[in-house]
Amino acid sequence: MQHVKRSAFTLVEIIIAISAVAVAGTGLFAYAQYLRVGRGPDNRCTSETNASAATVCEGYPPGELTSSPEIIRWLSTRTWRPERITATRRTVTQGGPLKTMTLQALSRTDMAELRELKSRGLVIARIEGDPESDEDQRYGIGGAETKGRGLQRAFIFVAEPFRLKYPTFVGRLLSNAPSYPIGAWTLYGQTAAGQLVAVKRGTLRWCAHAHTRSVTLDPAQFIDCDSAERAATIHARLLRDPRIREARFDSLSARLRVLSIVRVIRDIPFTDTTRAARQAQIKAEFQDLIDDRELIFFTDLTFDVEDDPVWVRCGVGCCTTDQLES
């Protein structure tokens, strides 16, 4: 586990000036087109404090905040997405109990601009879990960095300023990999005394796939980039399949039009934890709409939620908060 110094962090140490690293040259903006959601300029939000309230990104704290209590008060006024993903997550104890955690995205982070993060951090999501029991193996909640520190259940993810390695990044982009490291994230907890403390740090990875409507139905999820793309591709195909309009699929069709297919699969009320039983229930739900490989993939999704990274729309499309990379 990556340990973080145990101390309260001031504003300078946390959000407004998180290890800002300048990107040499202008190459970043030449390739920024690859890292956009694709919205028009009127829909993008900004970090500028003199902009109208309707266009300021929810995740950028005002520059005049100078202490943890002020930031915490500011966080309490943020608008969070109504979707809340609750999942049981794997703990570090071999064969030990699973830990229930809830994930929620901050509103409008998907409309932020890449260039806004040159020198500032962006709050993108929060995750809730018991800080005193059963350490989550990926994010350390319940481990040495949270136990006995008086932390509340809600922790926030902050995307640090992007640090694309130009021109190295360009070569990696053209390699057609499913994701690319583009910066770092830090997970912060909050004490009852009104202080923010760093719990964990890792690598922010950009998912290099098309951000279709099927993907954007989920503002946040426990999933990796590759699986998110594959699920979205299957989702789009199912919505085009004429059989989906048959009466036997009325309920499934209605859900697929308002929820991501990942949500639809993981929301199935499974009566057994065995793979065979879950596969049978998924087969009954989708019937002949999916083939055997897709059935196996859907079944895997019901188990992968236990240790997949946090996936969230992050201002440059979608990103995952992965383990720390060099």
Highest mean pLDDT among 40-44, 178-182, 290-294: 290-294
Q: What is the DSSP letter of 99?
A: E
Reference 65, options 11, 123, 121, 7; nearest CA is 11
pLDDT of res. 5: 41
195, 68 contact by CB (below 8 A)? yes
Kindly calculate the radius of gyration of the chain based on its CA atoms and give it in whole angstroms.
Answer: 20
Q: Where are the domains of the chain?
A: 27-205, 224-304
127-131, 144-148, 210-214, 273-277: range with lowest mean pLDDT? 210-214
3-state secondary structure of 299: helix
pLDDT of residue 116: 59
pLDDT digits (tens, 9 = 90+) for 97-140: 899 999 999 887 777 765 555 556 788 899 999 999 999 999 99
pLDDT given for residue 32 in this prediction: 36
Are 4 and 199 spatial neighbours (Cβ–Cβ below 8 Å)?
yes
Sheet with 310-313, side-by-side order of all strands: 85-89, 99-105, 122-128, 154-159, 179-190, 196-207, 318-322, 310-313, 220-222
Question: What residues does 220 pair with on adjacent strands?
Answer: 312
Q: Which residues contact 52 (CB under 8 A, 6 or more apart)?
A: none
* pTM (2 d.p.): 0.82
Residue 313 DSSP label = E
* Per-residue pLDDT, 57: 78
* pLDDT higher than threshold 70 for residue 41: no
- Nearest in space to 47 (alpha carbons), one of 29, 35, 65: 65
Joined tokens for residue 322: 């992965």
